[in-house]
Amino acid sequence: MRKTIIRILLTIITLQAFVVSAKAYSIKLEILNLPDQYVYLAQYHGFQSLTLDSAKCKNGIAEFKGKNTLPQGIYYIFIKEKKLFDFHFANNKKTLTLSTDIDDPAYHLKVNGNEASESFNEAHKTILRYWTQRDERTELLSVINLWKGNNVDTLKVQNEIDSLDKFYLEFLQREWKKQKKNDFLSELYKMAYAAQCPDCDQLSYIDFSNPELLNTPEYSFRKLIESYCWKNISSFADNITTAIANAEHLVQFTDPKSESRKYILNKLVLSYTTINRGYHPDIRLEAVACYLFDKYYKDKPWWMSDYDYTVMKWEYDITKYNVIGMQGKNIVLPDQNGIDHSLYGLKSKYKILVFWDSECEVCIEKVGHIQADYPTLKAIGAEVFAVYTEAEYDQWKQYIADNELNWINVSDPDGVGTYDYDYGTYKTPRLYLLDENNIIIAKDFDSAKIIETINQYEHGK
């Protein structure tokens, strides 16, 4: 009898647990005038967004339901890759109801079911208005400056931007202070405040031990980290030691096994790696990415797939020996007559190292720029060392003769060179400028501005 009762109780407990988990989250949508289609639930997380669920919206009505709990954070609804609105979800047991219309979903949004979510919704509308107005005035200021408008107009618009910024900071501070201390929304507004505050010790405004703070929109965690990186890393491209120290300082705020460490390291390495990126930082900052990879990615981190790690390691391997400020590797290869030439053997103040292919139109264009400037380059103490990277040697020799390329031209007919990794010749053309001690001064610069690049280096020494 006792065993039977225990079994019954266990069954009841199991069923109750199932019922609770089956209703772990419920989010109802009412979107007036939305044509029947799928709507999607997404979450902000770190420096990316994650699509979590989909639901068929019929007559403007849809519901997201899941068996697993959702962490507290800021989520958003989108259709066909168009975001409709953001909202706060606090993992409460009540159903959260979101109602709006398709004409202006963000500003017409109403939230029912959680007091904190309702509070966030009202504050978020103010934040959206600020960013909309600021972007409009910033664009207007750019137009005035582009067309060389008068100083009165410039000053007026700049004063409007300053007033908006002052209002925004005061608003965020009020929202942050009126929340419960260390509450999620309090931390969200505090990070947003620090992101915009010009003189804040920004990292002291983040509790890196709280993984929920990754679940915040662009103007909070992400913007704070991006602002710190700009002020303390990107702005120190001419002082790489300081840039690296500041990057390391940011990493050390995070626990090695935390989600924050994962997102911070990936953000830094990917931001300052210049290969195949839509965003192109100052190329000198590759030193930051290489430092971090060398220290934190020698073994595959727990969060990376084998594929992602292989790609990142390849990028590191073909960059680590050609970072600006390093001594470039020597190259010893034969010219078109079979005579060996050494890059280190050049006795010139500057060495222009070119990797090219005679069938590549862009390569030919850049070689043409160098050829046009060659007499001037020779006069200021520069020499060209051109490495042919392909296997059509007869065609290469003919091109040299036909176009009178009277600098040092070499190729690698026996495949003995390691320049592909030493100088990252996964693409051509590639241009490097080295000094007399073979220190890399510049790379991937505009071939039509070689003399200007040398002059900038001279004045910056």
Q: Where are the beta strands (DSSP E) in 228-327?
A: none
Q: Return the SS3 of 29.
A: strand
Instruction: Return the SS3 of 4.
Output: helix
Number of alpha carbons in the 13 Å side-chain half-sphere of residue 313: 13
- 326-335: per-residue pLDDT in tens? 999 999 999 9
Which is it for the CA torsion 299, 304, 307, 311, positive or negative? negative
The secondary structure of residue 35, as a DSSP letter, is: P
Mean pLDDT, residues 272-289 taken together: 79
Q: What is the pLDDT of residues 209-224, one digit of tens each?
A: 999 999 999 999 999 9
Instruction: Please say if the pLDDT value at position 191 is more than 80.
Output: yes
The answer on pLDDT for 434 being more than 60 is yes
Partners of 110 in the beta sheet?
A: 99
Q: Which two tokens stand for residue 65?
A: 């339901």
Q: How far is CA 232 from CA 229, 240, 246, 290, in A?
A: 5, 11, 6, 17
- Burial bucket for residue 415 (CB in 10 Å: 0-12, 13-18, 19+): exposed
Q: Which amino acid is residue 283, in one-letter code?
A: I
Residue 112 phi/psi, 5° resolution? -130, 140
Q: Give the mean pLDDT of 175-184.
A: 91
DSSP state of 70: P
Using pLDDT thresholds of 50, 70 and 90, give the confidence band for residue 181.
confident
Work out the end-to-end distance of the chain between its first and last CA atoms, rounded to an integer number of angstroms. Answer: 91
Confidence label for 5 from pLDDT (cuts 50, 70 and 90): very low
pLDDT-based confidence at residue 275 (cuts at 50, 70, 90): low
199-235 residues labelled b (16+ CB within 10 A) or e (exposed): ebebbebbebebbebbbbbbbbbbbbbbbbbeebbbe
Quick one: the chain helix, strand, coil %, rounded to 5?
A: 50, 20, 30
Do 205 and 176 touch, CB atoms closer than 8 A? no
pLDDT of residue 243: 97
- Could you give the CA distance from residue 237 to residue 244 in angstroms, rounded to a whole number? 10
User: pTM for the complete prediction?
Assistant: 0.86
Mean pLDDT, rounded, for 399-403: 93
pLDDT, position 167: 97
pLDDT in the model for residue 44: 96
Pair type for strands 408-410 and 382-388: parallel
Distance between CA 189 and CA 177 in Å, rounded? 9
Helix (H, G, I), strand (E, B) or coil at 441: strand
314 contacts: CB under 8 Å, gap ≥ 6: none
Other beta carbons within 10 angstroms of residue 266's beta carbon come to 20
Q: What is the mean pLDDT of residues 146-158?
A: 83
Residue 458: per-residue pLDDT: 87
Residue 27's pLDDT band, with cuts at 50, 70 and 90, is very high
Q: 103 pLDDT band (50/70/90 cuts)?
A: very high
pLDDT tier at 21, thresholds 50, 70, 90: very low
d(CA 175, CA 183): 12
Residue 10: pLDDT band with limits 50, 70, 90: very low
Structural tokens at position 404? 């009178």
As a dihedral over the C-alpha atoms of residue 154, residue 160, residue 162, residue 167, rounded to 10 degrees, the angle is -170
Mean pLDDT on 365-385: 95
Q: For residue 328, what is the DSSP state?
A: P
DSSP summary character for residue 105 = T
Tokens 């850049």 sit on residue = 366
Q: What is the mean pLDDT of residues 54-64?
A: 96
Phi and psi at 54, nearest 5°, equal -140, 155
Give residue 378's pLDDT.
95
If we measure between CA atoms, which residue out of 108, 134, 132 comes closest to residue 121? 108
Q: What average pLDDT does the chain have?
A: 90
Asked whether 214 and 48 are in contact (CB, 8 A), the reply is: no
Buried b (16+ CB within 10 A) or exposed e, 341-371: eebeebebebbbbbbbbbebeebeebbeebb
